[in-house]
Structure 1
């Protein structure tokens, strides 16, 4: 081997030996381990930072809590990092207390964690509505009043009676609440009382006078006379009930009628009246017969 080549080879051997010595030295190994550790730390840190940056401002979808009891909804909201706040409560007819009616933000909204959800729920006690805030009712058409009370105030109504009046039919004559007559012909303005939302107001309304008539007293009349009186009042003779003594129904006497007679009793034109007959004049009946009585 030539001298220059030998010299180069010796230099390479010495260089490689120095490299091996350096690589195997404690200083190199410690520095290498430190570099690996720092690199691993940087990689982990950057990875964590990227995750935080990616999820920063991430939004969650709010569920629909309407119709759910607020206790159950609050537990579910807590599980999803939301806070539920009861903003208002109202009485709803037919609904139990604590049911969510509305929520804000609305169902399906995308919000951040820890967002507050404001809800309105039902309450147990009925709202009190001052009677003075209700519309004027005396003399008003009943169907209009019933519709207004139901739609605007959620108040039920009931017609408990009819009375003949000189005015138009189907108008309010009396207003009754909780068994007390609050409005009538004498007192037409509302007293200082309140009505439960969802409660019931009762009414007595007017009935058309033209369709009414006083019931005549038919007892002690013959059937002929009774029929005449009924026709004059535009009433109809109904079922006849004859006892065993009757031989001539037209001359038989009325001993009972249905509806029973009472002074001033009003019935509707076209109503039927049943009568019970006996042949002989009852002892309680006067001897003088009406001029229009006749026999066949």
Structure 2
């Protein structure tokens, strides 16, 4: 067999093997070509952003001007109430830092100030002051004393008082207790509560059926007073005959209570 025939046979065998081995794959590729190529993803077109509008800027505010410095007024010798009225008009604030007893000064009168008068006040317009306090009085021991003496003692100290009557075996008008207690310091004008032995109640005697002069004597002897005398006409009884009394007989009343009488008027 010559070389030409050999080459032919080799080529034939090779073609057969290629067909057998690669045939199925070639057929699939051909089918895919007939069905069309797979769609290619297309990126969406970029959206163009709206143009940015510039933010409006607020007009620049002028810087606040510092208040002009002013000299501190003279407040010493003025009451703090009056000083504050003056200070308001100058935008000054008065601050009370304390007080102290000053017998020769009016309570509330400014004794000291800081800064002192004439000092220039700039951004901080505050003035601190010390004011006069009224002299305190020490409450005396009044228990056991008569009310008249207690009144006189308290009046000399400039202290007020109130009375609270209470039934007691003590002599009427005697101080039984006091509030505040003795030794407590109080401001002038403070009120001290005094509990006093009450005057005994008196039973009003019967004076109806008596004549006016006799009725007055009976009532006064009982510690009672006679008030207005009312006069009415009456046919059965004579002039000044007591027809009625108020309060009525038997009523319990304090010592010195006024009794009103109704008597027969002159014919």
TM-score range, shorter chain: 0.3 to 0.5
What's the TM-score, normalizing by structure 1? 0.37
Name which one, 1 or 2, has greater alpha-carbon Rg. Answer: 2
Identify the structure with the greater helix proportion.
Answer: 1
